[in-house]
Structure 1
Amino acid sequence: MAQGGTGRPTPLDGGWGWVVVCSCFIVTVCTRAVTRCVSIFFVEFQAQFQSDYASTAWVHSLVDSATMLCAPLGSLIANRWSCRVSVMVGGVLASCGLLLSSFSTSLELLYFSMGIMTGVGFALCYTPAIVMVGVAVGRRRALAYGVAMSGSGIGTFVLAPVVQLLIERYSWRGALLILSALVANLCVCGALLQPVSPAPGGADGEDAPSGGRGRQAASSPVHLPDACRLPHDPKQAEKLIQDPEDSAQSAGLRRRLRGRGFRSSSEYAFLLLPDFLGLAVSFLFLASGCSLPFIYLVPYALRGGVAPQRAAFLMSVLGAVDIVGNVTYGWLTDLRCLRPHRLLCYLVAVAMEGVCCLLVPLLRSFPLLVPFAAVYGYFDGAYVALIPVVTSDLVGTQYLSSALGVVYFLHAIPYLISPPTGGWLVDLTGSYTATFLFSGAMLLTSSFILSLVVGVRRYRRDRRQAALP
């Protein structure tokens, strides 16, 4: 293991840390991209089981919601045992769920096998893999998250036509069998999530000495807990998070935290922090609005007279530019000048999505909808890449696993109810205008709440600096 001048381990911005990033990339392909591709089976399920639109739509809603709803379960397993165990168990469960789905004889069985069983398996994989990226990479963490989270966009871009081809050649049952084999690779990804040693001063690695940085050999795995845990005294833990640079005593406490196991009774003490509560409320509004453009953009374009091929191309633009947003926004927010303002950058990305949605009713032709798809897709990828980063910045890396479980849990109910809410608005008004306005209002409300969090944090920081002699 590479050592700094103080004899303590340095952050893994190279070597095995980036193997962890690649593993998380494949996890996002096998979870989020596969979930998006479930909609391709929609017509096949309808024809096979002679079901209506609403009944068939529950398959996609259940797998998406179960992934987010059970995210705390993934955090719990990762905290009690390890991220490797959680991802490998989730891979087996998700693969078996898709395998069982290929033999389904009723829609109700699909609700269980594909909706619940596969969704829970994805939940056990998704959050722990993301946590490991934050632990394994220090100074370039936002870029690392951008690369890892781009698996969703890249996977969708590649898998969508492949899944359609598999359905045409092998039927939907054969396609699900092949997807089951693909998802089984989550077990391999879990095995690659080899624990690494944390950097002194936290996962950011900014306080680490330069000596030995990046010299970690990939062939010599190092050992470390998947995430640092908090002290048994909740008040002491809260003080550590809110003011981590307060004193040498806090620094000593942080060093003791890194040696702790995962069985602290205070794992969820961060829930009482005002900053996290504000972030949590903003996530509820964000999740209520962010998915609607992906669902209703194509129908809106078709109603406006856009040809079906061109309308489908808008989704390709969304997916492709989403990847660019993942990587470039992560790289930008890793720059020294922007790193202290990552929460503000996240706020801007969410607000830009909201403004785009409010402008959609004015865009009634293909040439005008293409820029919308590009801008919305970019900022969608941007905010997705920053969710783990801003969560870690607010609560500290010792809480990251549990906090991400709560964050993704908060997405579950909005993901379940916002699509039918958008459809209800279309039925009620006879147009898609109200749906896009609703989406924009939710996103702007989320950004407004975040602006309050940013303002309060800046006020506290200014008062603390003014109190210094």
Structure 2
Amino acid sequence: MPPTAATNLGYKPPDGGWGWVVVFASFISIGFSYAFPKSLTIYFKEIQEYFSVSYSEIAWLSSVMLASMYAGGPISSMLVNRYGSRPVVMVGGLLVCTGMALASLGTTIIHLYLCVGVIGGFGLAFNLQPALTIIGTYFQVKRPLANGLAMTGSPVVLSTLAPLNQFLFDSFGWRGSFLILGSIVLNCCVAGALMRPVIKPAQFQPDNDSSMSSRKGSVEAAAENVGSQSAENSKNRSTGQSFVSRYIDISLFTHRGFLIYLIGNVVMFFGFFAPVVFLAPYAKHQGTDEYSAALLLSIFALVDMFIRPVTGFLGNSKWVRPRIQYFFSFAVSYNGVCHLLCPLASGYGGLVVYAVFFGLAFGMLSALLFEVLMDLVGAHRFSSAVGLVTIIECGPVLLGPPISGALVDIFGDYKYMYYACGVFMLVPGIFFFIMHYYNYKKLNEEQRQSVVVDLMTSEETVELKISQIKKPCNKTEDGSF
């Protein structure tokens, strides 16, 4: 297997130190980003009755929030590349708080779409992407472990919010609960404050090269001035392309591994979130009481919480890391199999068993989801890569739960929704197995060709030096050489 993508950060990541504090901050930020839309499903049945809307209409609430979170990826990437992770995460926490506070005053379902979905979703985008990016600047050798620990924030926060939301609803109603949840999300601002930029080691510069460096810097500065003046006089289209290429790496669309990841994920996300969104409503549909239905989410989250760091440890091992793309392919396929078997579970006990196995599958997939992307493109291109991936994935993220809700409305049963989600997960899992085998094979061939070219170049250089050494010297008239 080929080695992981080169870091090319220009420095050696510390792989520890303050990086573990950053992992904890990312734990909080990522936790709220992924757990918040899922935990709001506790209010779905009551909001559905309050506004007299269908299953598919109430499902749009989580869909709009998740889609906005993914659609805000490129904007978040540009802000991170420009200002760093710390201020972006803090602004994200303020946005989510504002959206939830405004939603508590909502009078229509459209109002909730705009406040919770759009404003809150963009705030979550500013929490998610910077937290993922900054881990790659602090870790290289221990990066799968760090990513696994940070991604554990999602089930930990979900296991806390699920019963808390039920308590808040019983005590304050959904309006008061939304206002309180908005204040709780302000903890993301604290997490953002902990995301100190990595301290890069100073580059040693010899004294005898100082004048040359200063001249070189002057030339580069002059060139930059000339370039900026010419850019001002260029066409608007060229300026736009320069702006985009400065913050987003469009060349990733020619990267084979990135395209494999993107194609598979677009299909996978049609069935990724819907089973979690409808887990509690499915239990209530079978006659389970509200607290028992909320307990299913807690069981799911506890198992998810356990498996994510375990997946990080396994992904960091010498046996799995060179083959981590296959590990990811297995996790996707395993999710699909769980959903296909879910309708066979009978009674509350069967749903508990499903929640356990689904928690294992979902946790494995979530812990690897961004690590395998970083493995494919390298940490230096990850910020742009995750921005491009999220903006394209916002389509299936937006449409997945409403399509699933429409299936429930049409058939009056949840089993067809779980069958559809199972197919949406199993097909890309098989696709990943096949295409990653092909990608690894092509990378091995390219690596061998590169070695051969380097050897030929080295041999030509050696032959040239030998020929120069053997070149006869001309003898002068006085006998000297």
TM-score range, shorter chain: 0.7 to 0.9
Match of 2:194 among 182, 192, 209: 192
Q: Do 1:286 and 1:443's aligned partners in 2 also have CA atoms closer than 8 Å?
A: yes
Q: How many Å apart are 1:332 and its aligned residue? A: 0.7
Match of 1:81 among 80, 83, 86: 83
Residues 102-137 of structure 1, C-alpha deviations (whole Å, 9 max, x = no match): 233443332222221111111122111111112212
* Letter of the structure 2 residue corresponding to residue 13 of structure 1: D
d(CA) in 2 for partners of 1:405, 1:58? 23
Q: How many Å apart are 1:39 and its aligned residue? A: 2.1
Name the counterpart of 2:309: 327
| Residue 67 to residue 366, structure 1, CA distance change in 2 (3 Å) | same
Residues 281-329 of structure 1, C-alpha deviations (whole Å, 9 max, x = no match): 1001111112232244455556667777655543332221111121111
d(CA) in 2 for partners of 1:276, 1:405? 12
Name the counterpart of 1:23: 25
d(CA) in 1 for partners of 2:326, 2:396? 24
Name the counterpart of 2:326: 344
Greater relative contact order, per chain length (Cα 8 Å cut-off, separation 6+): 2
Asked whether 1:163 is paired with 2:145, we answer no
d(CA) in 1 for partners of 2:161, 2:131? 21
Q: Do 2:104 and 2:178's aligned partners in 1 also have CA atoms closer than 8 Å?
A: yes
Q: Do 1:31 and 1:126's aligned partners in 2 also have CA atoms closer than 8 Å?
A: yes
Residues 55-99 of structure 1, C-alpha deviations (whole Å, 9 max, x = no match): 444333221221112111111111122222221222222221222
Residues 201-223 of structure 1, C-alpha deviations (whole Å, 9 max, x = no match): xxxxxxxxxxxxxxxxxxxxxxx
Asked whether 1:362 is paired with 2:369, we answer no
Q: How many Å apart are 1:455 and its aligned residue? A: 1.4
Name the counterpart of 2:252: 270
- Residue ranges of structure 1 left out of the alignment (5+ in a row): 1-7, 201-261
SS at match of 2:424: helix
d(CA) in 2 for partners of 1:432, 1:51? 18
Q: Which moved more, 1:184-193 or 1:289-298?
A: 289-298
* Letter of the structure 2 residue corresponding to residue 98 of structure 1: M
d(CA) in 2 for partners of 1:34, 1:179? 9
Name the counterpart of 1:13: 15
Name the counterpart of 1:402: 384
* Letter of the structure 2 residue corresponding to residue 132 of structure 1: I
Asked whether 1:316 is paired with 2:298, we answer yes
* Letter of the structure 2 residue corresponding to residue 320 of structure 1: L
Name the counterpart of 1:280: 262
SS at match of 2:152: helix
* Letter of the structure 1 residue corresponding to residue 133 of structure 2: V
Q: How many Å apart are 1:9 and its aligned residue? A: 5.4
* Letter of the structure 2 residue corresponding to residue 81 of structure 1: Y
Question: TM-score, normalized by length of structure 2?
Answer: 0.76
Q: Which moved more, 1:13-22 or 1:262-271?
A: 262-271
Q: Do 2:56 and 2:405's aligned partners in 1 also have CA atoms closer than 8 Å?
A: no
* Letter of the structure 1 residue corresponding to residue 179 of structure 2: L
Residues 211-267 of structure 1, C-alpha deviations (whole Å, 9 max, x = no match): xxxxxxxxxxxxxxxxxxxxxxxxxxxxxxxxxxxxxxxxxxxxxxxxxxx973762
- Residue ranges of structure 2 left out of the alignment (5+ in a row): 1-9, 203-243, 453-481
Q: Which moved more, 1:89-98 or 1:106-115?
A: 106-115
| Residue 276 to residue 367, structure 1, CA distance change in 2 (3 Å) | same
Name the counterpart of 1:182: 184
SS at match of 1:288: coil
d(CA) in 1 for partners of 2:116, 2:20? 31
d(CA) in 2 for partners of 1:374, 1:157? 13
| Residue 289 to residue 266, structure 1, CA distance change in 2 (3 Å) | closer
Question: TM-score, normalized by length of structure 1?
Answer: 0.78
Asked whether 1:455 is paired with 2:457, we answer no
| Higher-Rg member (1/2) | 2
* Letter of the structure 2 residue corresponding to residue 294 of structure 1: V
d(CA) in 1 for partners of 2:94, 2:291? 38
Q: Do 2:61 and 2:116's aligned partners in 1 also have CA atoms closer than 8 Å?
A: yes
Higher share in helix: 2
Q: Do 1:333 and 1:339's aligned partners in 2 also have CA atoms closer than 8 Å?
A: yes
* Letter of the structure 2 residue corresponding to residue 318 of structure 1: F
Q: How many Å apart are 1:434 and its aligned residue? A: 2.8
Q: Do 1:127 and 1:404's aligned partners in 2 also have CA atoms closer than 8 Å?
A: yes
Q: Kindly report the root-mean-square deviation, in angstroms, between the aligned alpha carbons of the 2 structures.
A: 2.8
- Equivalent residue runs for 1:28-427 within 5 Å: 28-46=30-48, 48-49=50-51, 51=53, 53-197=55-199, 264=246, 267-298=249-280, 312-427=294-409
Q: For this pair of structures, how many residues does the alignment match?
A: 402
Q: Do 1:286 and 1:446's aligned partners in 2 also have CA atoms closer than 8 Å?
A: yes
| Residue 133 to residue 123, structure 1, CA distance change in 2 (3 Å) | same
Q: Do 2:169 and 2:177's aligned partners in 1 also have CA atoms closer than 8 Å?
A: yes
* Letter of the structure 1 residue corresponding to residue 33 of structure 2: T
d(CA) in 2 for partners of 1:426, 1:294? 15
Percent identity reads 33
* Letter of the structure 2 residue corresponding to residue 383 of structure 1: L
Q: Do 1:279 and 1:453's aligned partners in 2 also have CA atoms closer than 8 Å?
A: no
d(CA) in 2 for partners of 1:71, 1:328? 28
d(CA) in 2 for partners of 1:100, 1:453? 46
Q: Do 2:74 and 2:248's aligned partners in 1 also have CA atoms closer than 8 Å?
A: no
d(CA) in 2 for partners of 1:46, 1:293? 18
| Residue 53 to residue 148, structure 1, CA distance change in 2 (3 Å) | same
Name the counterpart of 2:458: none
d(CA) in 2 for partners of 1:186, 1:312? 24
